[in-house]
Amino acid sequence: MSQIAVSMRNITKAFGKKVVANKNVDLDIYHGEILSLLGENGSGKTTLMNMLSGVYYPDEGEIHVEGRHVTITSPKNAYDLGIGMIHQHFKLIDVFTGLENILIGMDPKVNSKDCQRDVEAICKKYGFDLDLDKKVYEMSVSEKETLEIVKTVYRGANILILDEPTAVLTPQEIRKLFAVLRNMRNDGKAIVIITHKLNEVMEISDRVSVLRKGENAGTVAVKDTDEQKLTEMMVGEKIELDIERDFVEDKQKRLEVKNLTVRNIDGKKVVDNVSFDLYSGEILGIAGISGSGQKELLEAIMGLQKCEEGSSVIYNSTAHGVHELVGLSTKEIISYGLHLAFVPEDRLGMGLVGNMGMTDNVMLKRYKKGNGPFLHRKKPEETAQKIKDELEVATPDLDYPVRRLSGGNVQKILVGREINNKPTVLMTAYAVRGLDINTSYAIYNLLNEQKKKGVAVIYVGEDLDVLLALSDRIMVLCSGKLNGMLDGRTATKEEVGYLMTNLKEEER
């Protein structure tokens, strides 16, 4: 076997009292090898690597680099040990050129001509394609990433860590990146690539280490495994949850989404030709690695994202019958009285105004029903009181700023307000993120009650056990595409996990 570059032993890292991001993790990284670090969102991949790059310091455990026991206290410290990490969010200065960005922070004695010559040599040696005179703001994401990698190599990194480098790239760009990574590996560099895409793991890496809920769930040689086995390692055994799930007989179509497509500012399709129907009396769970288009899909339906193509039609939205939503702003959706409700990921900000109390927040949503600036506070006050009583919101009074309340109470207010408007369609994004178990169950029960009342519910979630226990159907998104629609009562965790991480052949 080749020479060991890094060995991490028994590494534990917690944030606060509740979140244990890494627990007793062992990990070995070798020269002349590409190691994939695979795991679901939140499984602790970035945190683990940030302890090598000097961003975090472990609570427990030991790190050895090139056979020596080391203490890594800063990114500079990591560089001195030959470790460089390319983060998901690039740290480049927009108004500077590529070369200027490489020179920043270098010893002022380094001459820019020498630097350019050395950088060009690196590009030639490994096959990087980079225009050093271009300003960063003129570069594509792929060019920026290339610049970050070249900069890291120029600074002497022999151990390179890339955090989800392919997330922002097109298939052609990924191929190019992989070719460069192989060249560097063959030159003896140690390379770690953080990813959650199984096909990439199989294609690019020699070995793969899987993290699950902060722990190392195993390390295998790629030649000894396959995508199915890796999925099982990633998702683990199914945990049976005691969440109520009723069956509603009478189902009516409530939403019809057809070929919906949304592009982000970089021109990438974040929602790619998605079509589905949603019915009353059902909870449609949406599964996917975070960033697979869940957020944009809901926002597009809600009028918060511009759609490039497609339509979404709401049915039987009181007084209006059938209505096309694409092209309407959120404000119009509300003012037309279309009974579409949205509980966004960003509770304080997009959902509620933190400085306002419950009453004002309830009023906010109803502003069109008010009479100019002289709004009646009586009705909203009654509603706020009703929400407080029914959902047991713990607040000193109805005018107490909601940002001072716990996450669970904030979520109850938001869900309460949306339900109070008697929606036909209720869309929720990460409704239980950051909430304790009891509050989470309270939210599941609320959604289930809504479903029984005939509301069509969308639940975007990240915990597969919850999705499998709560949903009537599960829609899986992968790279913005609808990659599978499963029956929530019969689907397995492996099936969902597999569809989350493997785009079907015909969709690639």
Ligand X SMILES: Nc1ncnc2c1ncn2[C@@H]1O[C@H](COP(=O)(O)OP(=O)(O)O)[C@@H](O)[C@H]1O
Q: What is the contact surface with Mg ion in residues (CB under 5 A)?
A: 46
If binding is defined by CB under 6 A, does position 137 make contact with ligand X?
no
Binding segment (CB under 6 A) for ligand X, from list 4-12, 44-52, 352-360, 375-383: 44-52
Closer by beta carbon to ligand X, 82 or else 291:
291
Collect all residues with Cβ–Cβ distance below 8 Å to 345 and sequence separation of at least 6. Answer: 295, 429, 430, 433
Q: Which does 54 bind (CB under 5 to 8 A by kind): Mg ion, ligand X, none?
A: none
Closer by beta carbon to ligand X, 47 or else 231:
47
Binding segment (CB under 6 A) for ligand X, from list 13-21, 109-117, 198-206, 238-246: 13-21
* DSSP string of 104-130, one letter each residue: TTS-TTS-HHHHHHHHHHHHHHHT---
| Binder of ligand X out of 42, 61, 75, 407 (CB under 6 A) | 42
| Binder of ligand X out of 6, 21, 139, 435 (CB under 6 A) | 21
If binding is defined by CB under 6 A, does position 44 make contact with ligand X?
yes
If binding is defined by CB under 6 A, does position 280 make contact with ligand X?
no
Q: How far is the CB of 39 from Mg ion (least distance, A)?
A: 9
Long-range CB contacts for residues 437-446, cutoff 8 Å, separation at least 24: 439/408, 439/411, 439/412, 440/466, 441/243, 442/391, 442/392, 442/408, 442/412, 443/411, 443/412, 443/415, 444/243, 444/244, 444/470, 445/244, 446/391, 446/415, 446/419
345, amino acid identity: E
| Binder of ligand X out of 2, 10, 19, 114 (CB under 6 A) | 19
CB 335 within 8 A of CB 324: no
Closer by beta carbon to ligand X, 20 or else 325:
20
Measure the CA–CA gap between 9 and 289, rounded to whole angstroms.
28
Q: Which does 39 bind (CB under 5 to 8 A by kind): ligand X, Mg ion, none?
A: ligand X
Site for ligand X in 236-255 (CB under 6 A): none
| Binder of ligand X out of 39, 82, 288, 303 (CB under 6 A) | 39
Closer by beta carbon to ligand X, 212 or else 229:
212
CB 435 within 8 A of CB 447: no
| Binder of ligand X out of 10, 15, 221, 355 (CB under 6 A) | 15
Q: In what order do the strands lie in the sheet with 215-221?
A: 83-86, 159-163, 190-195, 33-38, 207-212, 215-221
Measure the CA–CA gap between 503 and 305, rounded to whole angstroms.
24
Measure the CA–CA gap between 129 and 207, rounded to whole angstroms.
27
Q: How far is the CB of 22 from ligand X (least distance, A)?
A: 8
Collect all residues with Cβ–Cβ distance below 8 Å to 287 and sequence separation of at least 6. Answer: 461, 464, 467, 474, 475, 476, 477, 496, 499, 500
If binding is defined by CB under 6 A, does position 47 make contact with ligand X?
yes
Binding segment (CB under 6 A) for ligand X, from list 40-48, 72-80, 147-155, 462-470: 40-48
If binding is defined by CB under 6 A, does position 57 make contact with ligand X?
no
Binding segment (CB under 6 A) for ligand X, from list 42-50, 411-419, 422-430, 459-467: 42-50
Residues that bind ligand X (CB under 6 A): 15, 19, 21, 39, 41-47
